[in-house]
Amino acid sequence: MLKKGSQNSQADKGCSMYETIKYSVENGVAWLTLNRPDKLNAFTSQMNKEIQKAIKISAGADEVRAIIVTGEGRAFCSGQDLSDVDEGMNLGQKLREDYGPMMEQIANCEKPIIAGVNGVAAGAGFSLALACDFRLVSEKASFLNAFVNIGLIPDSGNLYYLSRIVGHAKALELSLLGEKVTAGEAKNIGLATKVIGVDEWNEHLKAFAENIANKPTKAIGLIKRYLEASYHLSLEEYLKEEAEGQRIAGLTKDYAEGVAAFTEKRKAHFIGK
Ligand code: LHQ
């Protein structure tokens, strides 16, 4: 059986335990807002750790059935805080200690994660958006694979996700040129799930998240897990794993409800169990 993401039963609705992000839960949706607007929500070690903590708590809380990651102010996230890197710093170690664990936490989360890209997503901020399951993009937002502009390679899983989302040639183009991608182009190349007008931003982001929060959460987790596994397994291995996944899905209350609703010609009411 494929490994499941790490879970934690602790549920927390308050944001008092965070300094660099805001965290709240409403209508089944956890809102994780990067909150360093003066620095365009650039990452620090503390922010990386707080994001990991909030994702872990969301993954383990029954009442959370979808997660939104978004930014305070005019940016989504500008990547590593460049005023917080010392000359001679071992960047490999920084990635292993700070970014790798954060990206793994996101990859292992079995609940749907939506990047609410409210403004520019640059460097590792772009990587964060790529690691999410959906990218809802404000019409005034943009993406920037900024790494090459400062002599670095795209990191935090950037090339892994980007090439899967937009294909090899486009991933190479964005990574080598380091130029801004507008919301419109992001939609055209499959990077944006949806582009939202500024006036409808909050309402549409909330509605999208609440819609997915009302779907069969266990099946969604399994779909995420098996799609990812399909890249690493032979077809023979995959079919074996898939059968086990479907066995588990078939034991959920939501499966029973889905079939009952179909038979009774009514809308299903899924509870995420
Ligand atoms: C910032 C930043 C920022 C600090 C804007 N840091 N202050 C991992 C491992 C270890 C080390 C290396 O990195 C990594 C991963 C990475 O993420 S590397 C890539 C790091 N990110 C970048 O290279 C992007 C840098 N930022 C930009 O290119 C621009 O700021 C963008 C395109 C994001 C936005 O441009 P504008 O809208 O023109 O805004 P701005 O440049 O005027 O920025 C506004 C303020 O935010 C400004 O501060 P100030 O005090 O002058 O108002 C910037 O200094 C600050 N800021 N990004 N990453």
Q: Which ligand 1 atom minimizes the distance to the CA of 95?
A: 9
Task: Specify the residue with its C-alpha closest to ligand 1, atom 37.
Answer: 120
Q: Considering only CA atoms, which of 186, 122, 183, 181 is closest in space to residue 154?
A: 122
Q: Considering only CA atoms, which of 151, 51, 28 is closest in space to residue 99?
A: 51
- The pLDDT, as a whole number, for residue 16 is 66
Q: Any idea which architecture 10-213 has in CATH?
A: Alpha-Beta Complex (3.90)
CB-defined site of ligand 1, < 6 Å: 39-40, 42, 78-83, 85, 91, 94-95, 99, 120, 122-124, 144, 146-147, 150, 152, 155
Q: Which sequence spans correspond to the domains of the chain?
A: 10-213, 217-263
Structure tokens at 184: 């419109």
Task: Specify the residue with its C-alpha closest to ligand 1, atom 25.
Answer: 78
Give the 3-state secondary structure percentages of the chain, helix then strand then coil, rounded to 5. 50, 15, 35
CATH code that applies to domain 217-263: 1.10.12
Which residue do the tokens 């499966």 mark? 255
Query: Are 191 and 163 spatial neighbours (Cβ–Cβ below 8 Å)?
Result: no
Tell me: the pLDDT tens digits for 78-137? 999 999 998 899 999 999 999 999 999 999 999 999 999 999 999 999 999 999 999 999
| 199-207 own/partner pairs: CB under 8 Å, 24+ apart | 201/118, 201/138, 204/136, 205/68, 205/70, 205/114, 205/116, 205/136, 206/27, 206/29
Task: Specify the residue with its C-alpha closest to ligand 1, atom 6.
Answer: 81
Task: Specify the residue with its C-alpha closest to ligand 1, atom 4.
Answer: 81
Q: Do 217-263 and 10-213 have the same topology in CATH?
A: no
Query: Are 137 and 201 spatial neighbours (Cβ–Cβ below 8 Å)?
Result: no
Which residue do the tokens 């919301």 mark? 183
- The pLDDT, as a whole number, for residue 122 is 98
Tell me: the pLDDT tens digits for 35-85? 999 999 999 999 999 999 999 999 999 999 999 999 999 999 999 999 999
The reported pTM is 0.95
Tell me: the pLDDT tens digits for 166-190? 999 999 999 999 999 999 999 999 9
Ligand 1 center to 162 CA (angstroms)? 20
